[in-house]
Amino acid sequence: MHVLGIESTCDETAAAVVVDGRTILSNVIASQADLHERYGGVVPELASRRHIESIVPVVDAAIDNAGISKEHIDLVAVANAPGLIGALLVGVNFAKSLSFALGKPLIGVNHIEAHLYACVMSSKVAIPFPVLGAVLSGGHTSLVKMDDVGNYTLIAQTVDDAIGEAFDKCARILGLPYPGGPQIERLALNGDPSRFPLRAGNVKGRPHDYSFSGLKTAVLYTAKGVGCQKDSPLKISESQLPDLAAAFQEAALNDVVDKMTSAARHHGCRAILIGGGVSHNKRLRALLEEKCPLPTFWPAPGLSLDNAAMIAGLGFHRFQQQGTGDSLELPVLTRSNFIS
Ligand code: KG4
Ligand code: ZN
């Protein structure tokens, strides 16, 4: 079954063709990072406008690169939640129109669930359920017990900033462009984390929940002085920036790994799946290897940042489970918990 996946939840316009939920024939991603870089974050209206410009060429390229024509598409899968309203509407309305025009079924997919599914479709071996799924992205940070694909229990989440958002905000404080995660990781390579004693937060009575806003403020005050404004000049020298980046990264990632390992043990999980853009971070992989005794499953290259192959993959799976597509009334949901 040839599934066309479409992704437009935030600042990537993406389309992919995947066969039977696993074999990726094409995976086209048009990033908008250049557009949002100067604002230090995604500007929703600009994102929507760029999606409108990109959606036709991106879908065309995905079909061309797959070596098929649009008549070969058997199912149109689209991320319909969660995300920015204008951005979502572009992808979902395009997918509905294409499904209608081709007379092929449509299926809606949750973007966050798809980040976890990226690990399932990347794995050469069967996933040993139950596992702990960790969603580490720019908009979400949560730990989920997965008894199977589609069967989830929420275990923990962030009470304030998402982990990727914390990376982006710290990068901005240090004068680095958006998206900040890769920038912080690069800068931290030459830093000594012990120069600045930083720690992520804990949530009273919820041992596996995350809190990163205090850590972000600690980075701000260390960089620019206590009580400073966000746009105040740096107080520390250029040569100290790598140390501060490394101290932030160590504090944030050790917290992520420690709570993940403890939650997995506590809930009887046999492995850990890591999804979302932050799974790209090599230090995260090294820390998990060092501290977590359980096997870990990661997205294959091309499937960790926002992409449409994971949407097509999960779309195929949902279509098989449901036995039918969704109606053309498929709603767009800006907030949506895939855990029922
Ligand atoms: O999953 P994703 O592509 O989009 C969302 O659904 O949010 O994640 C994007 C996030 C951004 O916050 C970005 O800074 C972060 O993932 N990220 C990283 C790295 N690469 C991307 N964070 C830390 N280290 C990285 N290497
Ligand atoms: Zn994402």
At 137-163, the pLDDT tens digits run 999 999 999 999 999 999 999 999 999
Instruction: Please tell me the predicted confidence (pLDDT) of residue 111.
Output: 96
Q: How confident is the model at residue 65 (pLDDT cuts 50, 70, 90)?
A: very high
Taking CA atoms, 186 is separated from 41, 61, 102, 242, 305, in Å, by: 19, 31, 45, 9, 17
Instruction: Please tell me the predicted confidence (pLDDT) of residue 116.
Output: 96
- Per-chain mean pLDDT for the chain: 96
95-106 pLDDT, tens digit per residue, is 999 999 999 999
Instruction: Please tell me the predicted confidence (pLDDT) of residue 230.
Output: 81
In 3D space, the residue among 10, 9, 7, 4 whose CA is nearest the CA of residue 26 turns out to be 4
179-221 pLDDT, tens digit per residue, is 999 999 999 999 999 999 999 999 999 999 999 999 999 999 9
In 3D space, the residue among 248, 240, 236, 327 whose CA is nearest the CA of residue 281 turns out to be 248
Residues 91/315, Cβ–Cβ less than 8 Å? no
Instruction: Please tell me the predicted confidence (pLDDT) of residue 289.
Output: 97
- E strands of the chain, at which residues? 2-7, 12-19, 23-31, 75-81, 106-110, 131-136, 141-148, 151-157, 201-203, 206-211, 272-275, 296-297
Most ligand 1 atoms within 8 A of CB, residue of 13, 184, 280, 335 to mutate: 280
Say how many Å lie between the CA of residue 303 and the centre of ligand 2. 10
Q: What are the structure tokens assigned to 239, written together? A: 């040569």
Average pLDDT of the segment spanning 109-113: 96
246-297 pLDDT, tens digit per residue, is 999 999 999 999 999 999 999 999 999 999 999 999 999 999 999 999 999 9
- Ligand 1 atom nearest to 139, measured from its CA: 7
Q: How confident is the model at residue 231 (pLDDT cuts 50, 70, 90)?
A: confident
Residue 47 CB partners (closer than 8 Å, separation 6+): 10, 11, 32, 35, 36, 84, 86, 87
Residues 18/25, Cβ–Cβ less than 8 Å? yes
Does residue 340 have a pLDDT over 70? no
Does residue 44 have a pLDDT over 90? yes
Say how many Å lie between the CA of residue 111 and the centre of ligand 2. 6
In 3D space, the residue among 168, 162, 163, 166 whose CA is nearest the CA of residue 180 turns out to be 168
Q: Which residues line ligand 1 (CB under 6 A)?
A: 10, 115, 137-139, 164-165, 167-168, 179-182, 185, 276-278, 280-281, 305-306
Say how many Å lie between the CA of residue 277 and the centre of ligand 2. 6
Higher local confidence (pLDDT), 38 or 57: 57
d(CA 152, CA 137): 18
Q: Residue 42 in 3-state DSSP?
A: coil
Residues 318/109, Cβ–Cβ less than 8 Å? yes
Is pTM beyond 0.95? Reply is no
Does residue 37 have a pLDDT over 90? no
* Ion ligand 2: residue ranges with CB closer than 5 A: 137, 306
Q: Residue 32 in 3-state DSSP?
A: coil
Q: How confident is the model at residue 229 (pLDDT cuts 50, 70, 90)?
A: confident
